[in-house]
Amino acid sequence: MPHNKLPTVKEIAKRLNVSTSTVSRALHNHPSIGLVTTMRVHKVAQELGYEINKTAIFFKERKTYTIGVIIPDLAEPFFSSALTGIEDAAETSRYNVIIGQSLNSFEREKRIVANMKDHRVDGILVSITKETSTYEHFEQLHKFNIPVVFFDRVPNRQDINYVACNLVSGMLQAVAKLVAKGYRRIGLINGPAKLAATLQRLQIYLNCLRQNGLEIDQDIIVSTTLSKADNLTAMNRLLVLEQPPEAVITFNDHVLLDCMAAVTNAGLEVNKDISFVSFANLPVWEYMDKKPLASIEQFAYKQASTAAGFLFKLIDHSAQPDAPEMPPLQCIIDSEMVEYSQ
């Protein structure tokens, strides 16, 4: 079998009887080379099947034009929508995307970060796992000049780049809706303790109850690890109370799906015996007979695309020799309650 070599700049130069430097400049459309010569060079390059050595360009520009994205689970519609936002932003800025799923494992998250570092990504976007409470694996990227931007699930720190959702506006609307419908015992099924979003939801929930003059009952505040079994257990703990809640706010729509199943299995009816409000606003509700009263939209696409824009800005800045460190780039997007007709 014949060994086919890739054509070189020298071959193009020899074909046109010009210098290799002229060919190189013409291939990159340098203004010092006339239009006719540039067109001739590109024509011959195409005829020979020449391809520009992108590795050399990347080395010169100090970029690989590749970013890493780490998300908990691509199967979740929220993160699928977020990934679409990232890929749209990346395509506009001509970046490639490498995706890693942590599957909510801290150790797996650390391995993905190390792997992306070894593959010399220009930067990383990440939504942390429910187990993540230390951040050395992200901090170490600084010495490799790899910026990190967090989105949605972000560390509870002020010295980081992040885009997150302000849940106060959506939760206020949700509690006001439940109170307007006559509910007074409003429970909460919260998330894993290590997630900053869990503490945030609890604080907002308590403040909203106080603002509406409602009693705070610790018995109707429970947590889940977000697993199916734990979601069912959390809901069943509320159902067996002597005074179960009349309505429940759940950590997200995936938790809610399991809670609705628990209600049905107990011989009760969703929206009659117990009503729900949740977070995330999954597209699946459009196709279901039983829906929550409302879901709080967290704008996954907007969060992620904004975070990607931050990352590209940081990458461009860090590619400059001796560039001073930028102050953290941070953005909060207001949540919004979406009502469902019953």
* Predicted local distance difference test score (pLDDT) of residue 197: 82
pLDDT digits (tens, 9 = 90+) for 150-169: 999 999 899 999 999 998 88
In CATH, the architecture of 168-297 is 3-Layer(aba) Sandwich (3.40)
Calpha distance 144→48 (Å, rounded) = 38
Selection from 138, 146, 74, 143 nearest residue 110 by Cα: 138
Q: Which residues belong to CATH 3.40.50.2300 in the chain?
A: 65-165+300-334, 168-297
37-48 tens-digit pLDDT: 888 989 888 888
Averaged pLDDT, 4-11: 78
Write down the CATH number for the domain with range 65-165+300-334. Answer: 3.40.50.2300
Bigger pLDDT: 159 or 59? 159
Closest by CA to 124, choosing from 103, 145, 155, 93, is 145
Q: What percent of the chain has pLDDT over 70?
A: 95
Helix (H, G, I), strand (E, B) or coil at 12: helix
Q: Which of 30-34, 105-109, 279-283 has the highest mean pLDDT?
A: 105-109
Give the per-residue pLDDT at 342: 58
Sign of the dihedral defined by the CA atoms of residues 85, 86, 91, 97, in that order:
negative
**Confidence class of residue 2 from pLDDT cuts 50, 70 and 90?**
very low
Q: Which two tokens stand for residue 109?
A: 């998250």
